[in-house]
Amino acid sequence: QRQTRQQPDSQHPDFHFVWSVLLINTFTVFVFPSQSLLSVHDTVAQRDFEPTLPPIPDDVLDEDEDSVKIVSLVKTNEPLGATIKKDKSTGAIVVARIMRGGAADKSGLIHEGDELKEVNGISLEHRKPKEILPLLACSKGEVKFKIIPASFKEEMASNKKKLFLRALFDYDPDDDPAVPCKDAAIGFKRGDVLQVVSMEDDTWWQACHLRDGNARGGLIPSRQLHERRFILLSYPSVEPGAKSSTGLRRSFRLGRKSSRAREAARRRRWSTGVHGPTRPPTYIEVIPYHRDPKERHRLVVLVGPDGVGVNELKRRLLLSDPDHYGVTVPHTTREKRRQEKEGVDYHFVSVPMFEEDILNHRFIEYGRYNGHYYGTSLDSVNRVMAEGKVCLLDVHPGKIKHVYTCEYKPYVVFVKPPGIEELRLTRRRAKFICGEEDKGSVRVFSEEDFEDMISLADDMESQCGHLFEKVIVNGDIAMAFRELKADLERVEQTEVQWLPAEWMCSSPTKARRSCGHLDSWI
């Protein structure tokens, strides 16, 4: 019997040892790594082996029979290469590597990831790899391992560790000249939920569509690949990996922009690098969520560039079912007008009160208009939701983060303008409410308004697209409204919904699994 050990290599801190094996035995399996099967069979048939194989240990029967494997090794000169290491998260001793062509590799009985529970009846719990090697060294004739096979552990963990991603872009392998094999790839649409089965390759992941019920993985572009392509296509002269600052902003909706303000905003957008390289929406990690009928509705957040029709859609939803939909009542510091009612039109508060609420982060969004504060508070959202209504919230995409939590489970709808031709056609009679400097006047849309709307929509999509669960193109208003209403009804009725894993992780009581896979994707 020969056992040697190499020092741990600094780059690969697995503990490396080499065995020679004559016979590897589980209860019923014999493996003869160095001779042809037939000649070994003859040998086995004619001779009694020393040492004899041990009986099944009693304590094994206490454990799940499928989960534990006993492997006995009796050695010859054929080496068995394997390394072991301590799993940092569980503390278990696991087989780190199986050397290609070695006896373990050929035997197929010991695998990378197998957890070693015992050596010769000695528990390996709380032991370091360097304490285990002497146990092996002093074994004579036979070394007996109790092992939890990696395949079983994976199966056990698979329910907890399945990785689901929602795609945030459309992908068609037929349009992708770079895909290594079109037949092996799968296409998807924005919003599809994919189960990722392999991320081993940095460029091409493997995933399957949930709807197919087909466990066979197909190739999909990895996040890195999609980002690299996006940057190369959008900014050919920019180094991949360069980052931009997020500079999107829009004035509070009550303060509409004048032409001068619009020009300033455009300059600001350019100067803050919104038009510079940015990370494109790729995938977001999601987990299934079963809504309890007693639970409050998800918050519906409508976002879009100025003038695209967010208020119009909100107004139509409210009119269609005022008992079901509700909107927030904003706060303001301006004087109450005669016809206005406290708590209906606005919550009228003093400047110190408003500023105290700002400091206490009570506002999702606030701004100044004509020297007065206006704002939408979290409390006002809570009030609508507490009435059992679907709360419709209209905010700048940059403010979604205030409600992007498990508590509100926002369903974010991006209202997008159609192409410029359709804008010209559909908005001919529409009125646009102008900004501060134009004293809130109403005027028809200009060509510049259309261009601004489209350009701002592009910015919003590239900056915040990962937050949008639904995109509605508002060309024909009746069609856009029908699509929105049907979609909101579908969301309410769908039993299993796919929510960002981040929400569940931020709420420990509801966390169902670790969400370490895609850190900092949002």
User: Is the Cβ of residue 96 or residue 254 nearer to ligand ATP in the bound state?
Assistant: 254
Nearest Cα residue to 445 out of 290, 270, 306: 306
User: Is the Cβ of residue 78 or residue 487 nearer to ligand ATP in the bound state?
Assistant: 487
The two structure tokens encoding residue 355: 């500023």
Are 240 and 280 in contact, with CB atoms under 8 Å apart?
A: no
Query: Interacting stretch for ligand ATP, rule CB under 6 A, among 2-10, 74-82, 102-110, 302-310?
Result: 302-310
SS3 call for 17: strand
Q: Kindly tell me which residue out of 24, 274, 310, 467 binds ligand ATP, with binding defined by CB under 6 A.
A: 310
Please tell me the count of residues contacting ligand ATP according to CB under 6 A: 19
Contact status: 312 vs ligand ATP (CB under 6 A): yes
Q: Kindly tell me which residue out of 35, 311, 405, 455 binds ligand ATP, with binding defined by CB under 6 A.
A: 311
User: Is the Cβ of residue 135 or residue 430 nearer to ligand ATP in the bound state?
Assistant: 430
Encoded amino acid at 265, one letter: A
Q: CB of 479: closest distance to ligand ATP in angstroms? A: 8
Q: CB of 431: closest distance to ligand ATP in angstroms? A: 4
* Neighbouring C-beta atoms of residue 181, cutoff 10 Å: 10
Interface residues for ligand ATP in 458-487 (CB under 6 A)? Answer: 474, 477, 480
CA dist 70 and 24 (Å) reads: 10
SS3 call for 410: coil
User: Is the Cβ of residue 147 or residue 453 nearer to ligand ATP in the bound state?
Assistant: 453
Contact status: 307 vs ligand ATP (CB under 6 A): yes
SS3 call for 133: helix
Q: CB of 457: closest distance to ligand ATP in angstroms? A: 11
Are 502 and 285 in contact, with CB atoms under 8 Å apart?
A: yes
User: Is the Cβ of residue 34 or residue 311 nearer to ligand ATP in the bound state?
Assistant: 311
Is the preceding peptide bond at 51 cis, omega within 30 degrees of 0? yes
Interface residues for ligand ATP in 143-172 (CB under 6 A)? Answer: none
Nearest Cα residue to 99 out of 88, 110, 86: 110
Angle, to 10 degrees, between the axis of helix 477-493 and the axis of helix 310-320? 60
User: Is the Cβ of residue 222 or residue 474 nearer to ligand ATP in the bound state?
Assistant: 474
Contact status: 256 vs ligand ATP (CB under 6 A): yes
Q: CB of 179: closest distance to ligand ATP in angstroms? A: 38
Q: Kindly tell me which residue out of 14, 118, 192, 306 binds ligand ATP, with binding defined by CB under 6 A.
A: 306
Q: CB of 167: closest distance to ligand ATP in angstroms? A: 27
Contact status: 308 vs ligand ATP (CB under 6 A): yes
Where on the phi/psi map is residue 343: left (φ > 0), alpha (ψ -120 to 50), or beta? left
- DSSP class of 191: T
Query: Interacting stretch for ligand ATP, rule CB under 6 A, among 141-149, 210-218, 239-247, 310-318?
Result: 310-318
Q: CB of 477: closest distance to ligand ATP in angstroms? A: 3
CA dist 361 and 378 (Å) reads: 9
Interface residues for ligand ATP in 395-434 (CB under 6 A)? Answer: 426-427, 430-433
Q: Which residue's C-beta sits nearest to ligand ATP?
A: 309
Q: CB of 452: closest distance to ligand ATP in angstroms? A: 11
Residues ≥6 apart with Cβ < 8 Å to 326:
318, 384, 387, 389, 390, 391, 392
Query: Interacting stretch for ligand ATP, rule CB under 6 A, among 41-49, 264-272, 307-315, 359-367?
Result: 307-315
For 86, the enclosing helix (H) or strand (E) is: strand 79-86
The two structure tokens encoding residue 406: 């498990």
Task: Tell me the residue ranges of DSSP E strands in 124-217.
Answer: 142-148, 163-167, 193-198, 204-209
Q: How far apart are the first and last CA of the chain?
A: 56
Which residues contact ligand ATP by CB under 6 A?
Answer: 253, 256, 304, 306-312, 426-427, 430-433, 474, 477, 480
